[in-house]
Amino acid sequence: MPNSVTPTHCPYCALQCGMNLTPSQDGGVTVVERPDFPVNKGALCGKGRTAPAVLASGVRLSSPLVRSGGTLTPATWEEALDRVAEGLARTRTEHGPDACGVFGGGGLTNEKAYSLGKFARIVLGTSQIDYNGRFCMSSAAAAGMKAFGLDRGLPFPLEDIPKTGCVILVGSNLAETMPPSLRYFNELRENGGTLIVIDPRRTKTAEQADLHLAPRPGTDLALALGLLHLVVAEGRVDEEYVQERTAGWEDARAAAMAHWPEYVERITGVSVPQLREAVRLFCEPEHAMVLTARGPEQQAKGTDTVGAWINLCLATGRAGRPLSGYGCLTGQGNGQGGREHGQKADQLPGYRKLDDPAARRHVAEVWGVDPDSLPGPGRSAYELLDALGTDIRSLLLMGSNPVVSAPRAAHIEERIKSLDFLAVCDVVLSETAALADVVLPVTQWAEETGTTTNLEGRVLLRRRAITPPDGVRSDLEVMHELAARLGGERGLEKGFPTDPEEVFEELRRASAGGAADYSGITYSRLAEENGVFWPCPAVPGAGDAEGFAAPGDGEDASPHAPDAPDAPDAPDAPDAPDSLDAGTGGPAHPGTPRLFLDRFATPDGRARFVPVSYRAIAEEPDDEYPVLLTTGRVVAQYQSGAQTRRVDELNAAAPGPFVELHPRLAARLGAAEGDPVAVVSRRGRAVAPARITTGIRPDTVFMPFHWPGEGRANTLTNPALDPTSRMPEFKACAVRVEAVKS
Ligand SMILES: Nc1nc2c(c(=O)[nH]1)N[C@H]1C(S)=C(S)[C@@H](COP(=O)(O)OP(=O)(O)OC[C@H]3O[C@@H](n4cnc5c(=O)[nH]c(N)nc54)[C@H](O)[C@@H]3O)O[C@H]1N2
Ligand SMILES: Nc1nc2c(c(=O)[nH]1)N[C@H]1C(S)=C(S)[C@@H](COP(=O)(O)OP(=O)(O)OC[C@H]3O[C@@H](n4cnc5c(=O)[nH]c(N)nc54)[C@H](O)[C@@H]3O)O[C@H]1N2
Ligand code: SF4
Ligand SMILES: [Mo]
């Protein structure tokens, strides 16, 4: 494709910035601005700009690897695929299908995530599949489902942010985690709106805020309840809205009233005047929003915590109205789409539930299998990883690096090593791939086409710009080949096309009538529009419904599926059709940028308050472990660092782990800037240089989690799980900090 420009999207985070790729001298691609894509308008962070570096040979994998005599050695694709099929087949024969585990990732395209869920259920016949999104936004997803009947990270586009009156940003450091999005918050302030940031650290994001509250890690639930208490006490409840659009207020109100501001001050360390100021800034303007990210969500009470923030929005009439609402800032490149199409333990495509008989019938028909043959729900991510080597004997891993990113990582590393068989599909030799019996090298973003769904629920087309090198194959080809080897006698490989558009066509049918309905979205439409927001049902007779057969029974059309597009200028809402066959009809569905404006996705259309009360973190500090550890990210590294630690420019900016601590704590240890300090928890010990700053609470230390080895933050973290979302407590555990004698 000489001199051509390919418009596409970044391989990394959920902002899915638009970028153009042009061919470079060396046969690769160069990233250039794509100003026409509205979300980032050309702006990119350093990770996006340098993403082509990971395409280079020598950096990425270019041949399958098979373990022989203890070491990974290059092998042919035939040999490697045969080995994977044998490994999985042996486990299935000897221990049953549920002894085969599958672990996916929120970075996988919709097509891959969909195929992986299908592969697990019909090729392996296992219930044991989950993915790293469980570690990401699962608490917000669970809370959103409870309150609104639907989980879409943001129920409105980012472009609404500058027009609201106040945003409370809870535990998001988006100045580092989604830098181009800062523009929306700057515009908000230029327009006279205010920004409140809640973070135990004075982050780059907090520095932009009109008000920064720095609670003790793990106490956001108390904080939100304290604010709701004040809203009631100060007579700021929107009674009419509560009456008309919600249910369950009395219980939630009673629970909040038990959380006196002085009590909340004692728990959180945020003073009563600051709480009052936050309530004033949030309640005075006509519109306001609460946005949460991993800070309050990655807690063993993350679901209740997000529920409390949603309660605050509901009591003040700030949900399901234009320019007001609650949203979660999803994280991974396809963090939204990756949670909708079946790689989750309890899920079928279209955000359907695996234990719903109608959903099983619908999806089984699309897949051409008996509904009774579909396994039931499996274990959550941490529980699945914890069962490796015991109940689960073989694992197929695609799109995650748990040796670095899972909580209590030293234990999980041991579990992985105790497997009978591990196969990893990756683009690089990650720390987890290095432990595999077989490593399958796969194509990357610029080398393959596929769709992702960004944090706004906007479905996007990533386009292939260059030919992949010899020696790598796509994840879809891997699944096709494994299906042929493991289910060839049943012709299963036919259900795993290698052309992403073919997979997407099937995904459309599988999702039709579900909550996350993609049936009205086509590749050709995505090529022309700057993304389409789901739900987007196919309209009988509109061009988008041509070319594939009806899914059969429409009886499972989810009661939760919002049936009205609520973009202000949208035409009348077409209901999800029983048939997707072309007929005669109106224009295609416009997609749904804004949800809940008329009704919430609950059976009665009302949002639900959840009565929640404060409870402590799973592991409170004590004499032995007196300090709190929290963890997170830095701008120049991505996740487990598997990709970004291979980019020189990013390593120069963020060369290694560190322990951020307050000068008072540093003085007590006798540690100076840059001195190695040890952080010790009940799970293990990590060592990294001290970074001393007054921007963190004296009772707390912070470590980024991007590195393996001695400075691995997850050696320390606590796998205590949220009872609903099964989210581990990445954001708060008890540690002791020690100077390291050199
Ligand atoms: N550079 C970069 N960008 C990324 C990623 C990356 O790895 N690197 N990953 C992507 C992904 S998958 C995700 S999920 C997002 C995550 O995006 P963010 O949620 O913004 O990232 P984190 O740094 O994990 O956490 C945000 C903030 O929570 C604060 N925090 C810690 N404990 C608490 C607490 O108890 N309460 C509150 N209120 N705050 C707390 C931390 O100090 C931190 O500043 O970023 C995406 N973007
Ligand atoms: N302490 C602590 N731990 C955390 C967090 C935290 O805040 N604190 N955050 C958690 C969160 S929010 C997340 S999302 C997880 C993320 O942590 P991981 O799940 O480890 O995520 P990545 O590092 O992105 O790993 C993705 C892997 O897949 C590979 N890959 C990329 N694209 C593809 C593809 O298309 N196909 C295949 N087969 N492979 C691909 C990459 O090279 C990489 O090795 O970490 C969690 N862990
Ligand atoms: S903000 Fe996210 S999507 Fe945008 S360039 Fe950076 S990593 Fe890529
Ligand atoms: Mo994430």
Read out DSSP for 668-694?
Answer: HHTPPTT-EEEEEETTEEEEEEEEE-T
Across the chain, mean pLDDT equals 94
pLDDT value for 488: 84
Distance CA 439, CA 423 (A): 6
Close Cβ partners of 244 (under 8 Å, ≥ 6 residues apart): none
Q: Which whole number is the average pLDDT over 352-380?
A: 98
**If we measure between CA atoms, which residue out of 383, 378, 420, 424 comes closest to residue 401?**
424
Whether omega for the bond prior to residue 535 falls within 30 degrees of 0, making it cis, is yes
CA of 13 relative to ligand 1 center, distance in Å: 12
- Provide the 3-class DSSP secondary structure of residue 170: strand
Distance CA 310, CA 227 (A): 12
Continuous segment of H or E residues that includes residue 95: helix 77-95
C-beta of residue 690 within 8 angstroms of C-beta of residue 672? yes
CA distances from 44 to 10, 345, 429, 455, 516 (A): 9, 34, 26, 16, 29
Distance CA 223, CA 216 (A): 10
Token pair 């959920």: residue: 14
In sign, the C-alpha dihedral spanning 76, 78, 81, 87 is negative
Name the closest ligand to CA 412: 2
Burial class (CB in 10 A: 0-12, 13-18, 19+), 742: exposed
Q: Which whole number is the average pLDDT over 537-542?
A: 88
CA of 639 relative to ligand 4 center, distance in Å: 8
Name the more confident of 87 and 558.
Answer: 87
**Ligand 1 atom with least separation from CA of 47:** 1
Indicate whether 387 pLDDT > 60: yes
- Provide the 3-class DSSP secondary structure of residue 397: strand
7 beta partners:
20
pLDDT bracket for residue 564 (50, 70, 90): very low
CA of 132 relative to ligand 4 center, distance in Å: 8
Residue range 24-62, pLDDT digits in tens? 988 889 999 999 999 999 999 999 999 999 999 999 999
pTM: 0.95
CA of 9 relative to ligand 3 center, distance in Å: 9
pLDDT value for 267: 98
Distance CA 614, CA 426 (A): 41
C-beta of residue 363 within 8 angstroms of C-beta of residue 348? yes
Distance CA 124, CA 121 (A): 6
In sign, the C-alpha dihedral spanning 62, 63, 66, 70 is negative
Q: Does ligand 1 have an atom closer than 6 angstroms to the CB of 176? A: yes
Name the closest ligand to CA 730: 2
In sign, the C-alpha dihedral spanning 668, 672, 673, 677 is negative
Indicate whether 100 pLDDT > 90: yes
In sign, the C-alpha dihedral spanning 456, 461, 467, 472 is positive
Cite the DSSP H helix spans in 215-301: 220-233, 239-245, 249-257, 261-268, 272-283, 294-297
Name the more confident of 724 and 572.
Answer: 724
Close Cβ partners of 372 (under 8 Å, ≥ 6 residues apart): none
* Beta-strand relationship, 394-398 and 421-426: parallel
User: What residue ranges line ligand 2, CB within 6 angstroms?
Assistant: 105-108, 132, 135-136, 294, 298, 331-332, 398-401, 404-405, 425-428, 430, 442, 475, 631-632, 639-640, 642-643, 705, 713-714, 717, 730
**What is the best residue among 16, 17, 40 to mutate for testing ligand 3's pocket, by most ligand atoms within 8 Å of CB?**
17
Q: How many CA atoms lie within 13 A of 109 on its CB side?
A: 28
Indicate whether 239 pLDDT > 60: yes
**If we measure between CA atoms, which residue out of 121, 268, 117 comes closest to residue 198?**
268
C-beta of residue 566 within 8 angstroms of C-beta of residue 601? no
Cite the DSSP H helix spans in 544-670: 648-653, 663-669
Residue range 319-365, pLDDT digits in tens? 999 999 999 999 999 999 999 999 999 999 999 999 999 999 999 99
pLDDT value for 558: 41
Neighbours of 664 (CB within 10 A): 11
Indicate whether 586 pLDDT > 90: no
C-beta of residue 516 within 8 angstroms of C-beta of residue 535? yes
Token pair 């985070």: residue: 13
CA of 644 relative to ligand 2 center, distance in Å: 11
Indicate whether 550 pLDDT > 60: no
* Beta-strand relationship, 676-681 and 659-661: unpaired
Q: Closest Cα to atom 36, ligand 1: which residue?
A: 295
Name the more confident of 559 and 723.
Answer: 723
**Ligand 3 atom with least separation from CA of 51:** 8
User: Rounded to an integer, what is the distance from CA 15 to the centroid of its chain?
Assistant: 11
Indicate whether 575 pLDDT > 80: no
C-beta of residue 164 within 8 angstroms of C-beta of residue 184? no
C-beta of residue 193 within 8 angstroms of C-beta of residue 289? no
**What is the best residue among 199, 336, 405 to mutate for testing ligand 2's pocket, by most ligand atoms within 8 Å of CB?**
405
Distance CA 619, CA 634 (A): 25
Indicate whether 167 pLDDT > 80: yes
The encoded tokens of residue 411 equal 């234990």
Q: Which whole number is the average pLDDT over 4-12?
A: 96
C-beta of residue 167 within 8 angstroms of C-beta of residue 160? no
Residue range 178-223, pLDDT digits in tens? 999 999 999 999 999 999 999 999 999 999 999 999 999 999 999 9
Indicate whether 559 pLDDT > 80: no
C-beta of residue 75 within 8 angstroms of C-beta of residue 299? no
Residue range 493-506, pLDDT digits in tens? 999 999 999 999 99
pLDDT value for 542: 75
Share of residues in the chain with pLDDT > 70 (%) = 94
Q: How many CA atoms lie within 13 A of 271 on its CB side?
A: 5
Residue range 113-161, pLDDT digits in tens? 999 999 999 999 999 999 999 999 999 999 999 999 999 999 999 999 9
Token pair 């629920």: residue: 457
Distance CA 638, CA 706 (A): 7
Burial class (CB in 10 A: 0-12, 13-18, 19+), 672: exposed
pLDDT value for 545: 53
**What is the best residue among 9, 12, 32, 185 to mutate for testing ligand 3's pocket, by most ligand atoms within 8 Å of CB?**
12
The encoded tokens of residue 696 equal 């963190």
Distance CA 21, CA 465 (A): 7
The encoded tokens of residue 239 equal 């009674």
Distance CA 204, CA 338 (A): 29
Q: What is the DSSP letter of 388?
A: B
C-beta of residue 114 within 8 angstroms of C-beta of residue 124? no
Distance CA 311, CA 317 (A): 10
- Provide the 3-class DSSP secondary structure of residue 251: helix
Q: How many CA atoms lie within 13 A of 145 on its CB side?
A: 16
pLDDT value for 703: 98
Token pair 């993609």: residue: 518
Task: Please state the φ and ψ torsions of residue 636, each to the nearest 5 degrees.
Answer: -90, -5
C-beta of residue 333 within 8 angstroms of C-beta of residue 12? yes
Burial class (CB in 10 A: 0-12, 13-18, 19+), 307: buried
Indicate whether 581 pLDDT > 80: no
pLDDT value for 116: 98
CA of 626 relative to ligand 1 center, distance in Å: 23
**If we measure between CA atoms, which residue out of 616, 614, 603 comes closest to residue 307?**
614
pLDDT value for 576: 42
C-beta of residue 655 within 8 angstroms of C-beta of residue 706? no
- Provide the 3-class DSSP secondary structure of residue 559: coil
Residue range 658-681, pLDDT digits in tens? 999 999 999 999 999 999 999 999
